[in-house]
Amino acid sequence: MKTDYNIDYLLDLKGEPCPFPAMSTIDAYDDMADEEVIEVLSDCPQSINSIPVDAKKRGHDVLLVQQDGPTFRYVIRVHK
């Protein structure tokens, strides 16, 4: 699937139980520059209550939340 923005990073957390997907995603923001985009994959459905919430709380834009199968996808643009 094509996007109209560039995705700078991929963080594939499939297989990790919570809270590690949420913790690793927050850590990843530290390694990114302003306006960079990250795609996060997690098959821990509880991440729906953590990853987008944490991103918004930190002032980042949640560009995409996909939850139509066991693996969830989040695309986030980081603002610093």
Q: Which two tokens stand for residue 13?
A: 């957390």
Report which secondary-structure segment, H or E, holds 76: strand 72-77
Q: Quick check: 80 and 34 in contact, CB under 8 A?
A: yes
Q: Which of 11, 18, 28, 62 is catalytic?
A: 18
Q: Which residues have a Cβ under 8 Å from the Cβ of 61 and sit 6 or more positions away? A: 55, 76, 77, 79
Is 18 a residue of the active site? yes
Site string for another protein, 15-54 (x = CB under 8 A): xxxxxx-xxx-x-x--x------xx-x-xxxx-xxx--xx
Q: Which residues bind another protein (CB under 8 A)?
A: 1-20, 22-24, 26, 28, 31, 38-39, 41, 43-46, 48-50, 53-54, 57, 64, 67-71, 73, 75, 80
Residues labelled catalytic: 18
